[in-house]
Amino acid sequence: MASERGDLAGRTALVTGASRGIGRTIAEQLADGGARVVCAARSANALAEVVAGLPGDGHLAVAMDVADPDSTAAALAQIAAEAGRVDVLINNAGVADSAPFERTDDAMWQRALDVNVTGAFRLCRALIPAMVKADWGRVVVVASNAGLTGYAYTTAYCASKHAVVGMVRAIALEIAKTPVTINAICPGFVDTPMTATSIANIAGKTGKSEAEARKVLERMSPQRRLIQTDEVAAMVATLCSDDARGIHGQAIAIDGGQTMH
């Protein structure tokens, strides 16, 4: 992994949704690997603690709402001015609203697409050409195994994750002759604040205790557990290493064997 070999020394990595959960752990892992990490989220204030705790120097906190093109453009301009070219892009920001499909309104549908797909696309379009020109780059999209299969009550979420996996595969074909790689990570339920919200929702709607609701999610994996954020971050770091240069256009499930393709 990059954290063990220092593969990312001298590289600049942008991690969206870096203020908590998977994004925060990824930022820590990449900084361990020597990268200068630009941590992005909707509030730069929420990132201050994350950036302060990263090993190494020069890390940045940048306010960015990936669903807002103006916010994204302003953040990219700030990053270019303060950090230069981005070598590693981790599209991690995401939302996971749920509802029966007949109660999935246009706003919920559009929010899932804007954050989970369009935001990632804008950053790929803005940053990959410079990686190609520089003859090196890594792009990882944190998708979900909901991009590989279906789940009830998550029509908008599943549609957005299938879409972003398709985007990764299409971009991969276009840049395959360059030294830039792009891949998707597809975790199952990860032990994060987002999953805690899902557990609370299940408990509220079913009358189960939160411990019982957690067991519902754990039983979806053959390993009968939630994935931990460091497992996802370790795979991201591996994909960013030079040794992973042949891994390209893949959607890699990290879900204890729940989905097999």
Query: What would the pLDDT profile of 108-161 be if each residue is shown by its tens digit?
Result: 999 999 999 999 999 999 999 999 999 999 999 999 999 999 999 999 999 999
pLDDT tens sequence across 157-167: 999 999 999 99
Measured distance between the N- and C-terminal CA atoms of the chain, rounded to whole angstroms: 24
pLDDT band of residue 2 (cuts 50, 70, 90) is very low
Predicted pLDDT at 4: 47
Instruction: Output 140 or 6, whichever has higher pLDDT.
Output: 140
- CATH match for 2-188+228-254 among 3.40.50.720, 3.40.50.150, 3.30.300.30, 1.10.940.10: 3.40.50.720
Secondary structure (3-state) at 224: coil
For the sheet with 12-16, list strands across it. Answer: 60-63, 36-41, 12-16, 88-91, 137-142, 180-187, 251-254
* Residue ranges, CATH 3.40.50.720, the chain: 2-188+228-254
Q: Cβ distance 13 to 35 under 8 Å?
A: yes
Q: Which residues are catalytic?
A: 157
